[in-house]
Amino acid sequence: MTGRGLIDIHHHFVPPFYLEENREAIVESWGGKLSPPWSSWTPEKSIEAMDRNGISRAILSLSSPGVWVGDASGVRKLARRVNEYGAGLGRDHPGRYGLFASVPLPDTEGSLREIEHALDVLKADGIALLTSYEGKWLGDESYRPVLDELDRRGAVVFVHPTVPRSCRTLLPGVPPVVTEIPQDTSRAIANLLYSGTLSRCRKIRFIFTHAGGAMPITYGRMVQFAPKELARDAPEGIAFEIGRHHYDIAATAHAPAIAALRSLVPASQVLFGTDSPFAPAESTVAGMRNVGFSDRELRAIGRGNSLSLLRRADREPAPFGGAITVPG
């Protein structure tokens, strides 16, 4: 691949204070176990992994459980600290980092305040939302003011899966990241679609992670068993609503997942993402070359599509130039 480097749309960071102060809640949200990258992440290791894989810029986001960690009184402050820390990394490493800012849903008023600060003051590239909060998915009526504000702004909204409390220990011995993470993305998309939110919030540009999770596999059922109200709530149809949003391929650069996704959306809607540090960047960088994309599609997925989507992704010059070698 040639150009100024890959843009990693799905790149996590772990602020030290976030892990230190909320370790118990984070561990509980992941079914009682944390993978080693949680405690070993540093900006230096992040940059090293980017350089090793030809990634010129990464858009930072907080992984699940986000900032809603059970302390409602302190969640607004935590969101602000996390976002200020992420913006600070961008200043410390010019051109290397962007930010999808966290908001304290299900706190509506706090979320509206943080959207304003993140987009107007910090100049974040977009807003990161989880697929669900406390058993309510993103199309829930209680979230309408937040989604409508993001729509008014024409914001990029990065939707990251989480594991609902009721599903964290369903299968002993099977990590919820295997079974529940893909499912919650599918639930969120179905909820946004059936509630009419996708159609109503026409200006939001959603990014759904991990190739849409289980959604491409359940798409036929979404169509077959759609409620009769869908003709009113999504008048242009399911295919239109699904096909106009974006999907990253973090941890899903495998032939079956990509084949399912490509049956629903064109390559122009596919974005490069790594899920770093929780998945090795090398796996996506190498895998994307072996799933049938053309050279032109690889250039678009690796960089061009993100540049078209993000309002700030290429504002500052990236440190890479010339040819980028993607390991096979």
Contact 114, 84 (CB under 8 A): no
pTM comes to 0.91
Contact 158, 128 (CB under 8 A): yes
Integer CA distances (angstroms), 197 to 7, 91, 144, 147, 209, in order? 29, 35, 8, 8, 18
Predicted local confidence at residue 311, as pLDDT: 64
Predicted local confidence at residue 70, as pLDDT: 67
Predicted local confidence at residue 219, as pLDDT: 93
* pLDDT tens-digit series, residues 106-138: 999 999 999 999 999 999 999 999 999 988 999
* pLDDT tens-digit series, residues 35-94: 888 999 999 999 999 999 999 999 999 999 999 986 677 999 999 999 999 999 999 999
% of the chain surpassing 70 pLDDT:
93
pLDDT beneath 70, residues of the chain: 1-4, 70-71, 311-328
The position carrying tokens 């899903």 is 252
SS (H, E, C) the chain: CECCCEEEEEEECCCHHHHHHHHHHHHHHCCCCCCCHHHHCCHHHHHHHHHHCCEEEEEEECCCCCCCCCCCCCHHHHHHHHHHHHHHHHHHCCCCEEEEEECCCCCHHHHHHHHHHHHHHCCCCEEEEECEECCEECCCHHHHHHHHHHHHHCCEEEEECCCCHHHCCCCCCCCHHHHHHHHHHHHHHHHHHHCCHHHHCCCCEEEECHHHCCHHHHHHHHHHCCCCCHHHHCCCCHHHHHHCCEEECCCCCCHHHHHHHHCCCCHHHEECCCCECCCCHHHHHHHHHHCCCCHHHHHHHHHHHHHHHCCCCCCCCCCCCCECCCCC
Of 146, 228, 224, 220, nearest in space to 186 by CA: 220
